[in-house]
Each structure stands twice: as C-alpha cells, then as structure tokens.
Amino acid sequence: MSIRDGESVGNDFRLFSGRANPELGKEIAQHLDINLGKVEVQTFPDTELHVQIEESVRGTDVYIIQSTCEPVNDTLMELLIMLDALRRASARQVTAVIPYFGYARQDHKSTGREPISAKLVMDLLTTAGADRIISVDLHATQIQGFANIPFDHLTALPTLASYLKEKTLENTVIVSPDVGRAKLAEKYADILKMPLAIMHKQRSGIGGQVVEVNQIVGEVAGKTPILIDDIIAGGSIYKHADALLEADAQPVYISITHPVLTGQSLQLLNRSSICEIIATNSIPVPVEKQIDGKVQVLSIAPLLAEAIFRIHKHRSVSRVFFDQQLAFPV
C-alpha cells in the first residue's frame, strides 16, 4: 500500500459500503485509516429496499463500495438507491466503486431482439447520481465507452501475478482459454516471463452456455499450465483443464479476478485436473465455496484504496500500474 507519509484523505471524504461485500469495504477503510460511513439498509417484507444515510455528507466526496454480484438485481438496486440518497443529501461528488460489474457480459447483441444490458446498467448508474465509476477487470473493457462520466478501470493482474511468482512453479506455461483473452494472457506471460499457449473454444446454446474446446496452439505437454480468465461463473472452464490434461499437461492452476461460482460450478471444479484456483475478493467467497481449500482468495483492498486515494487527491491512477510494472490497465 502506498498511501505515503501518513497523508490522510481529509475531512471532506466519506466511504460507505453496501451489503454485497461488507468485508471488502472494511478492508478498504482500514487501508485509508478511516471508519466506514454509517448507513442503514433495510429490506421490507415485500422485498422493497430502504436506505438511510445516518451522517451528514453535504459537500463531501463520497465513495460507495458495492459489487453487483449475486443476487445481482438486489445488489444493483441497492447501489442505485444509495446513489440517489447521497445525491439528495447534497454530496459534492459520488463515486460508485463496483469491483465486480454485473451484466458486463451482456455488452452486445449476439442475436436479434436482445438487449444490451451493460449499457442500460451504465445509464441507470448515471441517472441515479454516480459522478464517477471505478471497476476491476471488466469482462468487456469496451463497456467503459457506455459511460458518459469518468470511468476508472483497474486490474487485479499485479495482485494475481505476485502470488504466482511467490509460488515459484517450474516448467510453467500461461494459457488463454480463447482468443478473446489472448491480450490478457500476454500480459501475464510478460510479467511472469513464461511462454504462452492459446486454446480455441466454441460456444453454443442460449447465451453461449455450452462450451467445447477443440484446439490448443502452443506447447503444453509436460508443463504446468496457468489458465487465466477474468471470471469463473458456471464452471465451464473445467473443460479447458480437462483438455490440457488430455494434451499431457500437468494439473492446472487457474487465475481469475471474479469468483462468481454459481450453480454446479463447485462440483465441476472439484476435479483432479485442477490443482488450485486463485481469485480475488471482488466477490465474497464463503468457506463453503472454497472447495476444501482449493480456492485461494487474494485481497484487492490495497489496490482499490490506493486508487480511491489518488482520485480523491486528483492524482494519476495510472501510476498505480506503472509502479507494478504494468504499462496500462487491462
């Protein structure tokens, strides 16, 4: 953490957390050496939400920590209502800190008569009162362009890469699950000084939920693959791990930012072809989702605290990545 020389955020700063990931909010507050703002969020019997900001925010620079993770619609609506409450309470500026940006996978139309839900969510955030958005490793980086307000896109890559460096694995290869993640895989390979392989997959079915791996470009036989992606949701990445094992690779390490881990993913990922899953706490991962210790959760609180501090002080956010040997955010 590089909030230097004991410099504080000042009296014109407030940090609040929604209910999606309160532990991450507490960690960020600790790194900033402040207390979380007081807010009461209630769910009425008919499932309506009510938000009460319990301290003055008039004229202050306010940040809300809220991943729009499961239950996505509830956490999103909670964030929107908090934004509205803070705007009406005369906050000078309100920043929505959304480590995991739900609906980011719906960034374009793949068939006729489909919505572009990521754009709709961006419009809702702006209408509700967000003056700025901070997020981490968007599924589709281009959705930053859906926003008509400043959007700071951070990456957990240095956090994940540092952990992998410390493991001192031998005879390794970085593996991209598809062509779309090749650029991210190149960054891993560059930081970790490892060779690169790319897999080719085909999606079918509603929303592309059926995945088949049919080709691996690069040498993986006898090597320990580090399979990278931005998200694990339904667990289909296990097919990539199995395909690598069939290509005579060693059991796979998986490095991802967002551990959504829905449905049967826990059962699908608990297999011999997967050695370890490295993820961040952008989304809470309770013990029952850690697959008997197979899921290793790293904190991005230092990253978010540093970015928040720099934005509040009107300093460069890109410097965070320069300091970690990453030329620019993913």
Q: Which residues are catalytic?
A: 201
The helix-helix angle for 182-192 and 157-167 (nearest 10°) equals 50
**Contact indicator for 279, 293 with CB cutoff of 8 Å:** no
CA 260 to chain centre: 10
Report H helices in 89-218: 117-128, 157-167, 182-192
Long-range contacts (CB closer than 8 Å, 24 or more residues apart) made by 276-280: 277/232, 277/253, 278/160, 278/163, 278/164, 278/253, 278/254, 279/232, 280/99, 280/136, 280/156, 280/159, 280/160
Encoded tokens for 52: 């009460």
- The amino acid present at 66, given as its one-letter code, is Q
Report H helices in the chain: 22-32, 72-88, 117-128, 157-167, 182-192, 238-246, 265-269, 301-312, 318-322
Q: 190: number of CA atoms within 13 Å, CB side? A: 12
Q: Give the whole-angstrom CA distance, residue 160 versus residue 55.
A: 37
Which CA distances in Å does 9 have to 82, 93, 129, 298? 22, 15, 22, 25
Which CA distances in Å does 137 have to 109, 144, 158, 217? 21, 11, 12, 25
Encoded tokens for 254: 């998986």
